[in-house]
Amino acid sequence: MTSRRPYLIRAIYDWVLDNGLTPHLLVAADAVGVEVPGEFVTEDSRITINVSPTAVRNLELGNDWIHFSARFSGRPFQVNVPPGAVLALYARENGEGMLFGEAEDPPEPPPPDTGGDDDSDTGGKPRGSHLKVVK
């Protein structure tokens, strides 16, 4: 099964915005794949980022990556975070949200394609389409 974390991140993000509050991400900056400005990372390797629509541009809360651009001390920075590195998403004003716990390792990438279609179950013959023309 896929991780439920990216789905919960999107749901909590929408819920925080729907209530007129400011969503913040708490990220494990030392997790694999995290790209955040290092000078804003705390001693315990955490960074808190305001991800409200007025604070970030081109926010994409995907299943595999969270991407956006933001300004840190006036300088633009492209932020890339795997959802497994998100430790919490909460509203700045009241702390309501969700704590996800420790960072998850990113999923293993699929094995490389060996080239060509997998026709082993058809005796090496290409498969015909299962689609039919409807008139």
pLDDT of residue 107: 55
- How far apart CA 100 and CA 113 sit, in angstroms, is 34
What pLDDT is attached to residue 103? 74
- Reported confidence tier of residue 28, pLDDT bands at 50, 70, 90: very high
pLDDT band at 17 (very low <50, low <70, confident <90, very high): very high
Average pLDDT over residues 42-70: 96
CA distance 56 to 119: 46
One-letter amino acid for residue 5 of the chain: R
In degrees to the nearest 10, what's the CA dihedral of 41, 47, 48, 52?
100
Q: Which H or E run contains 17?
A: helix 5-18
Query: What is the per-residue pLDDT for 127?
Result: 58
Q: Looking at the predicted structure, is the pLDDT value of residue 116 above 70?
A: no
Q: Which of 82, 88, 81 is nearest to 102 (CA)?
A: 88
Q: Is 40 helix (H, G, I), strand (E, B) or coil?
A: helix
Q: What are 108's two structure tokens?
A: 């293993």
pLDDT at position 119 is 47
Distance (Å, rounded) from C-alpha 120 to C-alpha 5? Answer: 36
Q: Average pLDDT, stretch 107-113? A: 53
